[in-house]
Each structure stands twice: as structure tokens, then as C-alpha cells.
Amino acid sequence: MKFFIDTANIAEIREGCNMGMVDGVTTNPSLISKEGRKFEDLVKEICDIVDGPVSAEVIRTDTDGMIQEARDLAGLHENIVVKIPMTIDGMKAVRNLTEEGIKTNVTLVFSPLQALMAAKAGATYVSPFVGRLDDISHEGMLLVEQIVEIYSNYAFDTEVIVASVRNPLHILESALMGADIATIPFNVLTKLASHPLTDKGLKAFLDDWKKTQS
Ligand code: E4P
């Protein structure tokens, strides 16, 4: 299972890489705006740090505009994956970009049929947003389960990125379901490593060790 980090913050990305837990990065316009830096400069810096796919999202919503923006983004660095919203115009753009060899990540996916369309359009990745579904009392992980099953039924190459992750259980369930990738906010990534019994056990070992030194 691949772990992507869901942030545009350079310090978080560097720390995640030092932990050996970053196979790629996803950004979106909201994450980029938090950093207060020029979009292209920030994305290029991320690509220089991470040896893996880096998703950067288009802003235009019409097919031609998305295609033009995608070409510009893809020209910034070979690691760039262009994030395209799940709309009819978006699917037309994905079809064209796939034919041009530009990698895409279809974002804002909330239903299995949207994911099926994204795969049929040739998307490299699809991003179901589980946390936002949970927020409105829908079962986010059920969506992932259905997408994984549909893609397996028809042997689609499109990889599933579990997105809008809020807690470690989302990662556990993604792994059990066989999702290809989870894109994880930094605060959730650190939670994956922690367990109160680990802390308690380590403290007991160190306290006992001190006794041998006196
Ligand atoms: C995914 O690629 C998105 O950047 C992200 O996971 C959205 O998460 P949010 O619902 O916490 O904003």
C-alpha cells in the first residue's frame, strides 16, 4: 500500500519523507492557499523533495481550459499528476490528457459510478473523499469498498487514492480493502505510529535500565 501525504506544507513533507512514509503528495487549492506562496514555485519545490507523484489541481472548469492548464502543470516537472474535478467537462479533459500521456487524478469523487466513469475516461488515479461523506452521515469507506470491487471486476488500471482521511481507522480499513493508496494528513500520519502501550512499555524499560546503572 502506498502512502501519499495530503499537504502542501514543506516542513510536513520533509518530516514525512524522513520517516520513510511518503510515496507521493496530493495538494488542492485550499491546501496551497494556506501556504501563502506562488503555486508554481511551491509545486516545483515539492517535486524536488519527493520522488513520486505530486498532484496539482486545475482551476478552470471548462474542458479546453483544464487541458491547457494541465499541459502547463505537467510541463513544470515529470512527477506532476494533474488533478481534474469529477464533472462531464473534467471527463472530456481526462480522455484528452490520457491520450497525450499526461497523468490525471480525478478528484471530488463521492459515488462509485463517478469512479467508474473516471476509470473509463482513462484516469491514472481516482480520489474518493471519505471524510466528507462521513461528515454528512454517509459511510465513506463503503464507497472505497465499492470502487475497489468494481475496478477489480473489470481489471481497470486506475489506482484508488483514499482521500479526505480524518483518522487512523480510515487507513486501517483502506488497507484491509486493498485500496492502492491513502493520502494522509500529517497529523494522522503521526497518529498511526502511536500506541499508549508502546509509550508505557518504553517508559518501564528505561526506568528499569536506570536501576542497573546505580
Ligand atoms: C485529496 O486529494 C484532497 O486534497 C483532500 O484529501 C481533501 O480532504 P479534506 O476533506 O480534509 O479537505
**pLDDT on residue 184:** 98
Q: Which residue's C-alpha comes closest to atom 9 of ligand 1? A: 164
The CA 23 to ligand 1 mean position distance, Å, reads: 17
User: Residue 153: is its pLDDT beyond 90?
Assistant: yes
Residue 36 burial by CB count (10 A; 0-12/13-18/19+): exposed, middle or buried? exposed
Rounded Cα–Cα distance for residues 131 and 100 (Å): 33
What confidence category does residue 30 fall into, taking pLDDT thresholds of 50, 70 and 90? very high
% of the chain with per-residue pLDDT over 70: 100
Number of structural domains in the chain: 1
Catalytic residue among 38, 44, 83, 103: 83
* C-beta of residue 147 within 8 angstroms of C-beta of residue 126: yes
Neighbour count for residue 74 (Cβ, 10 Å): 20
- Domain extent at residue 128: 2-212
CATH of the domain at 28: 3.20.20.70
Nearest atom in ligand 1 to the alpha carbon of residue 55 is: 2
Q: What is the mean pLDDT of residues 172-198?
A: 98
User: Residue 214: is its pLDDT beyond 90?
Assistant: no
What confidence category does residue 181 fall into, taking pLDDT thresholds of 50, 70 and 90? very high
The CA 184 to ligand 1 mean position distance, Å, reads: 9
* C-beta of residue 76 within 8 angstroms of C-beta of residue 44: yes
The CA 147 to ligand 1 mean position distance, Å, reads: 18
Q: What is the mean pLDDT of residues 101-120?
A: 98
Residue with cell 542497573: 212
- Model pTM? 0.96
**Could you confirm whether 2 is annotated as catalytic?**
no
Closest CA to 127 of 179, 176, 89, 64: 179
User: Residue 74: is its pLDDT beyond 90?
Assistant: yes
Nearest atom in ligand 1 to the alpha carbon of residue 163 is: 6
Q: Which residue's C-alpha comes closest to atom 5 of ligand 1? A: 164
User: Residue 61: is its pLDDT beyond 90?
Assistant: yes
Nearest atom in ligand 1 to the alpha carbon of residue 135 is: 10
**pLDDT on residue 25:** 98
The CA 154 to ligand 1 mean position distance, Å, reads: 27
Q: What tens digit of pLDDT does each residue of 80-110 get?
A: 999 999 999 999 999 999 999 999 999 999 9
Q: In the chain, where does DSSP find H-type helix?
A: 10-18, 29-35, 39-49, 63-76, 88-100, 112-121, 130-135, 140-154, 168-177, 186-193, 196-212
